[in-house]
Chain A
Amino acid sequence: AQSVTQLDSQVPVFEEAPVELRCNYSSSVSVYLFWYVQYPNQGLQLLLKYLSGSTLVKGINGFEAEFNKSQTSFHLRKPSVHISDTAEYFCAVSLNPGYQKVTFGTGTKLQVIP
């Protein structure tokens, strides 16, 4: 079975500073990786996904993530954060896009400080 570990439960960062949210996964087979964002009292929105190909994936709102197979990581980065990026971010893994069970991490709360 696959699992996802998000190492940081909360990450405070000053506005316009860079940020990295860490995600590690465990699986015995190839996986598909996702980052979702959840704003207060809302559902989840897909930021970006890695299925195959280039290991650097660009998503919406200026976010990007890099798939590292040897380190089983999929860290999310943004070079300059805005107040509006304050939200909870979830890393997720799926084994098979046809059977779409998605396993989520416990989330990282990004707090952007003015």
Chain B
Amino acid sequence: ETGVTQSPTHLIKTRGQQVTLRCSSQSGHNTVSWYQQALGQGPQFIFQYYREEENGRGNFPPRFSGLQFPNYSSELNVNALELDDSALYLCASSLAGMNEQFFGPGTRLTVL
């Protein structure tokens, strides 16, 4: 059974650029959630996708957007990057209706 994987591991961008982060969910999981973890903070919920539709969103601006594909993998897109977007971005997969989420190792994004 393959766990949750994320790519890339690290990424450096400059202000104003756009970035795409990728997540492959654990086998059989149909729900993907994205979290932002700033340095020294707990993860903050960005949004969740279920059956290729956004199924809940946290307090993040529209320049944070996502996709879920038929194979349940997912992308997080961030436009017009700001310095404060520097963080560890975590993806978590789960089976709809179940309460345990499985986290990937994260993508460390640095915005200069």
Contacts and interface: CB of A to CB of B under 8 A. Distances in A.
Interface residues of B, number: 28
Interface stretch (B14-22, B75-83, B89-97): B89-97
Nearest to A4: B42
Interface residues on A, range: 20 to 34
Contacts of B40: 106-107
A102 B97 contact: no
A101 B72 CA distance: 18
Interface stretch (A40-48, A64-72, A79-87): A40-48
A49 B100 contact: yes
Given A99-B55, A100-B33, A100-B48, A107 B101 contact: no
Contact of B45 (A42, A98, A101): A101
A61 to B, nearest CB: 16
Contact of A43 (B94, B99, B100, B105): B105
Interface of B: 4, 31, 33, 35, 40-45, 48, 55-56, 58, 90, 92, 94, 96-106
Interface of A: 4, 32, 36, 41-46, 49, 51, 90, 92, 94, 97-107
